[in-house]
Amino acid sequence: MQKPKVIVILGTTATGKSDLAVKIAKKMNGEIISADSRQVYKGLDIGTGKVFRDKKISKSYKLKAINYLHKGIPHHLIDVANPKRKFTVAEYQKKAIYAMAEIVKKGKTPIICGGTGFYIDAITKGTIFPQVPPNIKLRKLLEKKSVSELLKMLEKLDKKRAKDIKDKNEINNKVRLIRAIEIAKALNKVPKITQGNPVYEFIKIGLYLPQEKLKKKIEKRVKKMFADGLLNEIKKLKKPARRGESGVSQKRLSELGFEYNNPTYERVVKESVKYAKRQMTWFKRDKEIKWFDASTKNLEKSVLSKLKKDF
């Protein structure tokens, strides 16, 4: 029996993935599943470059519990989590797999779109993650340590995971280091991250831009972020939604990305460029990706031509 086909549109920040995904969805009767580790959070709109939500949603979509439409196309896995608590990759995987099944059931094409490599791998490679609840006491102890101390600890507990974090240029990601240590300690052994058997055939389309063009796009995007009210968005997140509740703490905001940690235009541009490099480092390992220059005039036509051959 032939596996259902799923389109994946991936790439670095500011390459126009979301726009292309909508165009492809309209041509190929698709629905979009976001693969962005921060667009899952409610209220993180401007800083994450979230696509705008259509003001009017038809009754038929409301009945199907689809509440995020952009340009008439249903988008899944956007605004599904509270920013005050971490939404794990295992939670994402479970929801994304469900969304894919529902889209296929309707006779439509799932289109995964985003730049979070870990999320994309979780869906396309069927990775099965160890279920380990947060250890608040351990986290408090580990947070006092420097990233170099945490890396040394992880190397003793799980050399393979430490190497993986180094290879992905994520040694300064304190949250990821702490979580890796937490998992290794909880299981009292090196956790096995196994691969399942995906029930879908994934067609991966990658978008890239030459370095100078990418930097200009990033600069333009960051300017728009500040003009659209990024600083007001941060204030709103800090403000309690209801009386007696607390807003998102500064510590938690810093975990949600550099755009939410006392941002300045220069710093956000600089960090975005570095982030784009890390994204490409991740994606370059995947030989299944067919790459397209996002600055070409006939991008949509070229991508559709490739997809029609595969479909």
Domain of 234, CATH number, reads: 3.40.50.300
CA distance 216 to 209: 10
Whether 17 has a binding-site annotation, put simply, is: yes
Same domain, 202 and 183: no
CA distance 118 to 279: 10
CA distance 272 to 156: 32
Phi/psi for 74 (5° steps) reads -60, 135
Same domain, 167 and 303: no
Whether 15 has a binding-site annotation, put simply, is: yes
Same domain, 227 and 121: yes
Same domain, 181 and 226: no
Closest C-alpha among 31, 35, 42 to residue 79? 42
Phi/psi for 289 (5° steps) reads -80, 130
Tokens linked to 167: 């290879």
Residues 6+ apart with CB under 8 A from 48: 36, 38, 39, 41, 257, 259
pLDDT of residue 300: 97
* Residue 62's pLDDT band (cuts 50, 70, 90): low
Same domain, 223 and 141: no
CA distance 184 to 153: 10
Whether 13 has a binding-site annotation, put simply, is: yes
Domain end, chosen from 166, 192, 218, is at: 192
Phi/psi for 61 (5° steps) reads -70, -40
SS3 assignment, position 57? coil
By residue count, the chain amounts to: 311
SS3 assignment, position 8? strand
Q: What is the mean pLDDT of residues 136-164?
A: 90
CA distance 99 to 110: 8
Query: Are the C-beta atoms of 5 and 285 separated by less than 8 Å?
Result: no
Domain span holding position 265: 5-128+196-310
Strands (E), 43-103: 69-70, 73-76
Same domain, 206 and 88: yes
* Residue 249's pLDDT band (cuts 50, 70, 90): very high
SS3 track for 130-184: CCCCCCHHHHHHHHCCCHHHHHHHHHHHCHHHHHHHHHCCCCCCHHHHHHHHHHH
Domain end, chosen from 192, 218, 234, is at: 192
Whether 11 has a binding-site annotation, put simply, is: yes
Whether 88 has a binding-site annotation, put simply, is: no
Q: Please calculate the CA angle 281-285-289 and round it to the nearest 5 degrees.
A: 105
pLDDT of residue 127: 73
pLDDT of residue 63: 47
Same domain, 299 and 252: yes
pLDDT digits (tens, 9 = 90+) for 252-309: 999 899 999 999 999 999 999 999 999 999 999 899 999 999 999 999 999 999 999 9
Q: What is the mean pLDDT of residues 122-139?
A: 83
Same domain, 264 and 224: yes
Provide the mean pLDDT of the chain: 90
CA distance 212 to 14: 12
Check pLDDT > 90 for residue 151.
yes
- Domain count for the chain, please give it: 2
Strands (E), the chain: 5-11, 30-34, 69-70, 73-76, 109-114, 127-128, 194-195, 201-208, 289-293
Which range is most confident: 26-40, 88-102, 118-132?
26-40
Q: What is the mean pLDDT of residues 15-21?
A: 98
Same domain, 45 and 188: no
Same domain, 95 and 50: yes
pLDDT of residue 58: 63
pLDDT digits (tens, 9 = 90+) for 164-204: 888 766 788 888 899 889 988 887 765 555 566 578 999 99
Same domain, 162 and 121: no
Domain end, chosen from 192, 207, 223, is at: 192
23 by Cβ neighbours in 10 Å (0-12 / 13-18 / 19+) ranks as middle
Give this prediction's pTM: 0.84
Whether 16 has a binding-site annotation, put simply, is: yes
Q: What is the mean pLDDT of residues 218-225?
A: 98
pLDDT of residue 291: 98
Same domain, 39 and 143: no
Whether 216 has a binding-site annotation, put simply, is: no
pLDDT digits (tens, 9 = 90+) for 76-99: 999 999 999 989 888 999 999 999
